[in-house]
């Protein structure tokens, strides 16, 4: 009987420790809190000279910027189907809104104290200034540009029908860090946090030698009047293209395919090397949400399209989510780094009409995750969640060398008669 008492007591203690761990230690979200995003941006009043904080009001004068903003994922960060499904999975916890609808004016609840950083225990009360229509504007103009009744911006000599003030942070990478540098919390052991793009930013070549900041790629420079009828200035486009835009991914990478023979014959072994280079991103690729990854695939098909051999490799992050978050492995590419993916195939003695295919894909999430979001959390959007970045075919025959020379964009041929390569991609 004494042994059973010990077992029961031990089970009760273990259950109590597990309960305390999940209610007092482990965060209910996959990130920790930092002061600048633990609360919404405080309530902002309408600056003198403006009719409203709505983006459309700003667009009356800043027409081109407004039209660009409307096409951006910033403008749809709240209603984005992927966000809504993931947010439902997280039980619609309020803290996610601090980046997806960052102004207090856009949030239904006012958040007070957050005991011990436990977001589920935060003091909440209804927000009398909540505007549900304004919430739909997501990362709206005022989220970045309005503080204390003044319009902030990157110019020191603005003349406008409303109060303006120069803010030098608009010209720095730091400006993006509030939402693009989410940190770890207790019992979370990431390398740089769950969404650490700002922390990954490479400061030697891109920043010091090239003078790039986040805006250099994600808000390209343009010369035009900032406002209708204003002087021409060197400003920036308000596009913020990134990980949801296949063209932006293509700009970041350079892909080179080489073979060790240019004219394989039946019975020959053909060695293929695909080199993937992070040629145009100032941060790791992929970056942002930890679910994102690349795949590199080689396949050999016969003349009827039957797959004879396939090899696939993955580049991303491997994370253990329970009972603690531990980043087990990260093989993403640092800026300017490259990685070789190798494949070998021996042609059969009767080889005829065989095709080698190479494919590089970028994935926002896995097929399984996508299915889970659709079936359990109401994902209704049809937006693609994976993109083919580069895909080519090469005949495994005497025409291989010519095909390599002709394949892809920006073709560069190198090597001797037995070693041929082609290179595709755009350096940013």
Q: Say if strands 124-126 and 109-111 run parallel, antiparallel, or are unpaired.
A: antiparallel
Please report the pLDDT score of residue 407 as a whole number.
61
| Contact between residue 151 and residue 226 where contact means Cβ atoms under 8 Å apart | no
Residue 4: HSE in the Cβ half-sphere, 13 Å Cα cutoff: 1
Please report the pLDDT score of residue 402 as a whole number.
84
Burial of 246 (0-12, 13-18, 19+ CB in 10 A): middle
Token pair in block for residue 34 = 């930092």
- Give the CATH number of domain 246-425; options: 2.60.40.10, 3.40.190.10, 3.30.70.1450, 1.20.1050.10: 2.60.40.10
**Which residues, in sequence order, are bridge partners of residue 298?**
311, 358
Please report the pLDDT score of residue 77 as a whole number.
97
Please report the pLDDT score of residue 401 as a whole number.
86
| Contact between residue 261 and residue 268 where contact means Cβ atoms under 8 Å apart | yes
- Of 22, 18, 52, nearest in space to 187 by CA: 22
Q: Locate tokens 């042994």: which residue?
A: 3
Quote the DSSP letter at residue 45.
Answer: P
Residue 163: HSE in the Cβ half-sphere, 13 Å Cα cutoff: 9
- Of 111, 141, 109, 140, nearest in space to 38 by CA: 111
Burial of 252 (0-12, 13-18, 19+ CB in 10 A): buried
Please report the pLDDT score of residue 416 as a whole number.
33
Question: Which of the four pLDDT bands, split at 50, 70 and 90, describes residue 317?
Answer: very high
Please give the mean pLDDT across all residues of the chain: 89
Question: Is the pLDDT assigned to residue 362 strictly greater than 80?
Answer: yes
Instruction: Please give the Cα distance from 422 to 407 (Å, whole number).
Output: 7
**Domain coordinates of the chain in residue numbers?**
25-236, 246-425
* pLDDT (mean) for 139-144: 97
Question: Which of the four pLDDT bands, split at 50, 70 and 90, describes residue 1?
Answer: low
| Contact between residue 396 and residue 351 where contact means Cβ atoms under 8 Å apart | yes
> pTM of this prediction?
0.89
Instruction: Please give the Cα distance from 121 to 284 (Å, whole number).
Output: 35
* pLDDT (mean) for 25-38: 92
Please report the pLDDT score of residue 187 as a whole number.
93
Radius of gyration of the chain (CA): 26
Instruction: Please give the Cα distance from 367 to 387 (Å, whole number).
Output: 13
Distance spanning both ends of the chain, measured CA to CA? 73
Question: Is the pLDDT assigned to residue 65 strictly greater than 50?
Answer: yes
Question: Is the pLDDT assigned to residue 334 strictly greater than 70?
Answer: yes
* pLDDT (mean) for 225-238: 93
Instruction: Please give the Cα distance from 338 to 424 (Å, whole number).
Output: 14
Please report the pLDDT score of residue 355 as a whole number.
93
Better pLDDT: 383 or 148: 148
Please report the pLDDT score of residue 409 as a whole number.
30
* pLDDT (mean) for 325-335: 95
* pLDDT (mean) for 276-305: 94
The number of beta carbons lying within 10 Å of the beta carbon of residue 259 is 25
Residue 38: HSE in the Cβ half-sphere, 13 Å Cα cutoff: 17
């Amino acid at each position: 009987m004494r042994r059973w008492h010990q077992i029961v007591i031990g089970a009760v203690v273990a259950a109590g420790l597990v309960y305390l761990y999940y209610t007092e230690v482990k965060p209910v979200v996959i990130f920790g809190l930092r002061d600048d995003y633990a609360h919404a941006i405080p309530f902002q009043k309408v600056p003198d000279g403006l009719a409203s904080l709505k983006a459309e009001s700003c667009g009356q004068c800043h027409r081109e910027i407004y039209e660009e903003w409307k096409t951006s994922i910033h403008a749809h960060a709240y209603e984005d189907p992927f966000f809504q499904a993931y947010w439902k999975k997280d039980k619609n916890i309020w803290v996610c809104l601090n980046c997806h609808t960052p102004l207090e004016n856009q949030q239904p609840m006012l958040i007070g104290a957050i005991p011990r950083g436990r977001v589920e225990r935060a003091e909440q009360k209804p927000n009398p200034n909540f505007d549900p229509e304004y919430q739909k504007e997501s990362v709206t103009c005022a989220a970045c540009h309005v503080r204390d009744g003044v319009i902030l911006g990157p110019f020191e000599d603005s003349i406008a029908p409303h109060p303006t003030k120069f803010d030098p942070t608009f010209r720095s990478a730091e400006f993006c860090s509030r939402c693009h540098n989410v940190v770890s919390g207790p019992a979370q052991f990431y390398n740089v946090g769950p969404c650490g793009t700002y922390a990954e930013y490479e400061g030697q070549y891109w920043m010091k030698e090239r003078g790039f900041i986040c805006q250099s790629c994600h808000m390209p420079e343009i010369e035009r009047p900032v406002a209708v009828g204003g002087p021409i200035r060197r400003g920036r486009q308000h596009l913020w293209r990134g990980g949801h835009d296949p063209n932006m991914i293509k700009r970041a990478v350079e892909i080179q395919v080489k073979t060790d023979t240019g004219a394989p014959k039946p019975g020959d072994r053909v060695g293929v090397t695909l080199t993937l280079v992070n040629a145009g991103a100032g941060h790791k690729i992929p970056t942002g949400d930890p679910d994102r990854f690349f795949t590199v695939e080689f396949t050999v098909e016969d003349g009827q399209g039957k797959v004879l051999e396939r090899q696939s490799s993955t580049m991303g992050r491997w994370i253990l989510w329970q009972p603690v978050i531990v980043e087990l492995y990260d093989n993403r590419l640092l800026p300017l780094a490259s990685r070789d993916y190798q494949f070998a195939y021996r042609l059969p003695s009767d080889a005829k009409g065989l095709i080698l295919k190479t494919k590089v894909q970028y994935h926002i999430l896995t097929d399984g995750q996508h299915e889970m979001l659709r079936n359990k959390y109401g994902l209704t959007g049809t937006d693609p969640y994976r993109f083919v970045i580069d895909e080519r075919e090469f005949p495994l025959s005497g025409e291989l060398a010519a095909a390599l020379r002709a394949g892809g964009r920006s073709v560069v041929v190198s090597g001797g008669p037995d070693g041929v390569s082609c290179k595709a991609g755009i350096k940013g």
